[in-house]
Structure 1
C-alpha cells in the first residue's frame, strides 16, 4: 500500500537511462518567455505587478545596496511557484517534492552567503553568534546554538518545501483512491472535498514559494 502510495513521487519514466519526468522542471522555459514577445495583456500586467511588489519587499529586507540581488530572489520565487503549480496538474511530475531539487536550490545559496560573510565580514559574522545582552556564562552555549541553527538552515529550507508539497499530494491521492469503494451518494462530498483541498494546495504552492524566497533573502541580509 505504501509503495503504491509513494510511487506518485517516483521519477520512474526512463528513456536511454534518463529520467524524463524531470523535464517538467523546464516547462516554464517554453511558456514564460512568450509573454515578452506579445502585446500587453492582463497576464503580463499581473506578472509585472507581482515582480514589482516582490522587488520592493526584497529591497526593504536586504537594504538599498542590493546591486540587482532582488531580481535573483524574484527569479527563484517564480521558478519554485511554477514547479509547485505544475505538480497540481494530473500526470505532471512535481520536482519540488524531491529533496534532490530543493537541496540543490538551498545548499548553494547558503554556502555562497556563508563564504561571502566569513571572507568579507568576519567580525560581523562573529557578532551574530552571540546576541547582544547575553550573559558571559551563557556565551559558549549561545555560540553552539547559533552555529547549529546556521548549519541546519539549508536543510530546513529544503525539507519545509518538500514536506508541504508531499503532504498535500498524498492527501489528495488517499482521498482519490477511496472513490472506487465509496457509495454514489457520498461521491459529491468527495468531489467537493477534493476541490477544497486542491484550492488549499494552490495556496500552499504560493505560500511555500514566498517563504523560501523570503527566508533566502533574510539569510543574505545577515551577512551584509
Structure 2
C-alpha cells in the first residue's frame, strides 16, 4: 500500500523524453523575467559602450537642450555594428557593403539636418560657407568649394562604409580561392593570414560604425 502511495513520485517518461522538470520550467515562464534574471556580462558591456558613446556624442553636439538626440546616433552605431558583424560569418550577406543600405542611412539623415538648418538657422548656415579670415577675392571660390563639400557628405559617408566592408571581404575571398591549389605548408600560412585578416575585419567593423556615427554627430552639431 505504501509503495502505491509514493509511486506517483517515480520518474516518468513519455515518448522517450523525461518530462519530470517541466513543471519547474512552466513556473519560470509565468514569473516575469526581471524578477529572476540578472544582467549578463554582454548586457553590462553593451550598457557601458552605450554610456561612453552618450558622453562623447553629448560633448560633440554641445547642445544640452536636446538631451535625447544622442540616442539617435547610438542607435545608428548599433545597427551598423550589428550588420558589420553579421557579415563576418560565412554565407551571410553583408548588407553594409552595398550602397542601397549605406546611402539609405546617410541620405535621409543629412537631408533632415540640411532642411532643419536652412529653415531655422539660415544665417548660421550661410556663415559656414565662408571660413573666418578668408580674403574677399577668394570668397566666391570658397562658397563653391564649401557647397560642393557639403553636398557630397552623404555620398562620402556611404562610400566610406561600403568600400571598407567590400575591401576586406574581397581580399579574404581572393586568398581563400587560392587554397585548393596550394601545398600543405602554404595552406597553413594561408589559414594564419586569413585569421589575421578576420581579426582586422572585426576591428574595421567596429571602427567604421564608430566613424559613421561620429561624423553624423559632427554634421548635426554644425546646424546649431
**Category of TM-score, reference length = shorter chain:** 0.7 to 0.9
What number of residue pairs does the alignment pair up?
190
| Distance in 2 of aligned mates of 1:136 and 1:90 | 57
1:38–1:143 CA distance, 2 compared to 1 (3 A):
farther
Residue 168 of structure 1 corresponds to which residue in structure 2? 168
Q: How big is the shift at 1:185?
A: 1.3
Is the partner of 1:129 in helix, strand or coil? coil
> C-alpha separation between the residues in 2 aligned to 1:140 and 1:73?
34
Aligned to 1:180: 180
Residue 38 of structure 1 and its aligned partner are, at CA, apart by: 4.4
After TM superposition, the structure 1 = structure 2 runs for residues 74-153 of structure 1, keeping only pairs within 5 Å, are 74-153=74-153
Query: Residue 16 of structure 1 aligns with which residue?
Result: none
What displacement does 1:41 show?
1.3
Counterpart in 2 of 1:57? Answer: 56
CA RMSD of aligned residues (A): 1.4
**Structure 1 residue ranges without an equivalent (≥5):** 1-33
TM-superposed deviation, 1:67: 3.2
Equivalence for 2:47: 48
Tell me if the contact between 1:121 and 1:223 (Cα under 8 Å) persists in the aligned partners: yes
Deviation string, structure 1 residues 68-103 (Cα, Å, up to 9, x no partner): 010110000000001000000001110000000000
Give secondary structure in 1 for the equivalent of 2:179: coil
Q: Distance in 1 between matches of 2:100 and 2:37?
A: 35
Contact kept? 1:59, 1:66, Cα under 8 Å:
no
Unpaired runs of 5+ in structure 2?
Answer: 1-32
Map Cα deviations across residues 136-165 of structure 1 (whole Å, 9 max, x no partner). Answer: 000000000000000000000000000000
Q: TM-score, normalised by structure 2?
A: 0.83
State the distance in 1 between where 2:213 and 2:66 align. Answer: 15
Aligned residue runs from structure 1 range 29-48, under 5 A: 38-48=37-47
Q: Given the two structures, how large is their TM-score scaled by the length of structure 1? A: 0.83
Runs ≥4 residues deviating over 2 A: none
Distance in 2 (alpha carbons) for counterparts of 1:38 and 1:88: 30
CA distance in 1, matches of 2:65, 2:191: 50
Cα distance per residue 1:102-142 (max 9 Å; x no partner): 00000000000000000000000000000001000000000
CA separation of 1:72 and 1:38: change in aligned 2, threshold 3 A: farther
